[in-house]
Amino acid sequence: MTWLPRIVLAALAALVLSLLPPPTATAHGGGHRGHERTTSFYVPPLRDYTDALRQIARLRAEGDKATARQIWRMIRTPQAVWLEQGSPAEVRRQAKQVVRRAAARRQVPVMVAYNIPFRDCAQYSAGGATSPEEYAAWVEAVADGIGRHRAIVLLEPDGLGIIPWYTTINGDQEWCQPGEADPATAADERFAMLNHAVDALGANPRTRVYLDGTHTGWLGTGDTADRLVKAGVERATGFFLNVSNYRVTEQQVKYGEWVSQCIHYGTNDAEGGWRLGHFEYCASQYYPADPGDFSTWGLTDQWYVDNVTNAANPPSGPDDLAHFVVDTSRNGQGPWTPPAGAYPDPQDWCNPPGRGLGLRPTTDTGSDLADAFLWVKTPGESDGSCTRGLDNGGVDPEWGLVDPGAGVWFPEQAVDLVRHAVPPI
C-alpha cells in the first residue's frame, strides 16, 4: 500500500472523532490452556489501512456516511498482522515493533508467520523463503523479535493443507508438485521446518503457537490430525481453522473438537496399541456424517464418544487435548454456492460475492477447546485475481472487473462485507 498524504489524514481527523472508538474485543474465556480469562486483542495502526481510509473519505464525500462508518469500524476491529517477507533483521524489527505497541496498549497481538518455501504452491500468494535454512533463520528472527512479550502466532496458513510432493494418509499423491522441489525430500522438509518453527517460537514463555488445521471443506479429520502431529502440534498450543475462508463458525468448532480428539485417539497407547498412528480410522465430516447436511454431524460426534470419551485411556479434560482458534473475519454469511454449471472452476474460496463479516474477535467461544474467534485474514483485502476458470481477459464475472491481486485492498468487496455482516457492524 502507498502512504496516505498528510493532508488527507488531517481531513480524516474529523471523521475519526465522529465515529465510534476502536473496539478492543475484550472477552471472557474459560481460563483453559491457551487463553486467559480476559483478552484484549491488538488493533493495528491506521497507517496499515491507507487504501481503506481513502475509501472512507470517498464514501463520505459522496454522502454515504453510513457505509463509511461501517468500514471505519471494520478496520478498527482487532485483526492479525501478517509477517510475509523480509530479511531476518527486517522481520525481527517488525515483530518487535508489533509486540511493543501491543504491550503499551495492554493488548495481545495476533501475528501470522507466512514465509515458508513453496508457499501456496506458487499460486495466488506465491513467495516465501528459498530454502529450509533461509526459513529457519527467518522464523528464529520472528521469535527473537517477540521475545518475552505476549503474542499469538499462527504458523503458515496452507502450510499443512498444501504440502509439496506429499502422499496423503490415504495413499493419494497431492496435486502440489513444483518442479523446483525434490520429490524425495520436499514433504519431509516441510514437516521439519514447521517442527523447528514450533520449537523456536514456543521457546518464548508467553507465545502461543497454532498450526494449520485447514477447514471443514478441505481435509478430513484424520488427514488433518495426521499432518498436525507430524508438524509438532503436541508441542504447540494447537491449530487454527478457516484462515482466509468463509466456512460457518459452528461447523468449524465441531470440526476442531473432532480433530483434537482424533489427535488423542492416534497418539495414546490404548487397547493394545493397535490404533497408534492410525488417524485414518477417525470419523470426520465426510463419514459417518454427510458434509452437506449438518443435521447428520451428530453421527460423528457419537463416534468420538464411543472411541475416545468412553474408550480406554480417555482424555482427562480440555487441557489434555489440542486447542484451536477460528478465523471468523469473513464468514458471517458462510460459504458461497456458485451458480450450477456456470464456471469451469468456480473458485468458491476466491473473492466470493455476497459474503459478510463474521463474529468479532473474542475468547468467549462456548467451547472448552476453542481458545478464540479471531480476525486473521484482513477483511477488505482481495484473495487474488479470480477468473472462475474463464478465458475472458482476467475479468471476474461475479464482480465484472479484474480483481486486485492477493492482499490488495478491494473496495467493492469491503462494501459487501460490511453490508452483509453477521452480526451487523
pLDDT of residue 24: 46
CA distance 400 to 395: 6
pLDDT in tens, 322-343: 999 999 999 999 999 999 999 9
CA distance 225 to 12: 48
pLDDT of residue 124: 63
Show the cell assigned to 224. Answer: 488433518
pLDDT in tens, 139-182: 999 999 999 999 999 999 999 999 999 999 999 999 999 999 99
pLDDT of residue 2: 44
Domain of 113, CATH number, reads 3.20.20.40
Residue 30, pLDDT above cutoff 80: no
CA distance 419 to 176: 36
CA distance 191 to 357: 33
pLDDT of residue 125: 66
Give phi and psi for 82, each to the nearest 5.
-95, 125
**How confident is residue 274, by pLDDT bands cut at 50, 70 and 90?**
confident
Residue 17, pLDDT above cutoff 50: no
Q: Is residue 392 part of a domain?
A: no
Q: Is residue 399 part of a domain?
A: no
Residue 273, pLDDT above cutoff 80: no
The position carrying cell 516441510 is: 190
Q: Is residue 73 part of a domain?
A: yes
pLDDT of residue 39: 85
Report the candidate in 357, 356, 416, 352 with the shortest Cα–Cα distance to residue 384: 352
Q: Is residue 18 part of a domain?
A: yes
Q: What is the mean pLDDT of the chain?
A: 92
Q: Is residue 138 part of a domain?
A: yes
pLDDT of residue 29: 36
Residue 9, pLDDT above cutoff 80: no
- For residue 251, give every residue at least 6 positions away whose Cβ sits within 8 Å of its Cβ, in sequence order, or none: 216, 285, 294, 297
CA 20 to mean position of chain CA atoms: 27
Residue 33, pLDDT above cutoff 50: no
Residue 14, pLDDT above cutoff 70: no
Cβ 124 vs Cβ 350: under 8 Å: yes
Helix 6-18, helix 65-75: angle, nearest 10: 100
Mean pLDDT computed over 209-238: 98
Residue 11, pLDDT above cutoff 60: no
Range of the domain at 252: 6-378+412-419
Residue 262, pLDDT above cutoff 70: yes
> For the chain, how many structural domains are there in total?
1
pLDDT in tens, 52-93: 999 999 999 999 999 999 999 999 999 999 999 999 999 999
Residue 25, pLDDT above cutoff 50: no
Instruction: Say what percent of the chain tops pLDDT 90.
Output: 85
Q: Is residue 385 part of a domain?
A: no
**How confident is residue 38, by pLDDT bands cut at 50, 70 and 90?**
low
In this prediction the pTM is 0.92
Residue 95, pLDDT above cutoff 80: yes
pLDDT of residue 120: 87
Show the cell assigned to 114. Answer: 507466512
Give phi and psi for 81, each to the nearest 5.
-105, 125
Q: Is residue 39 part of a domain?
A: yes
pLDDT of residue 272: 72
Q: Is residue 336 part of a domain?
A: yes
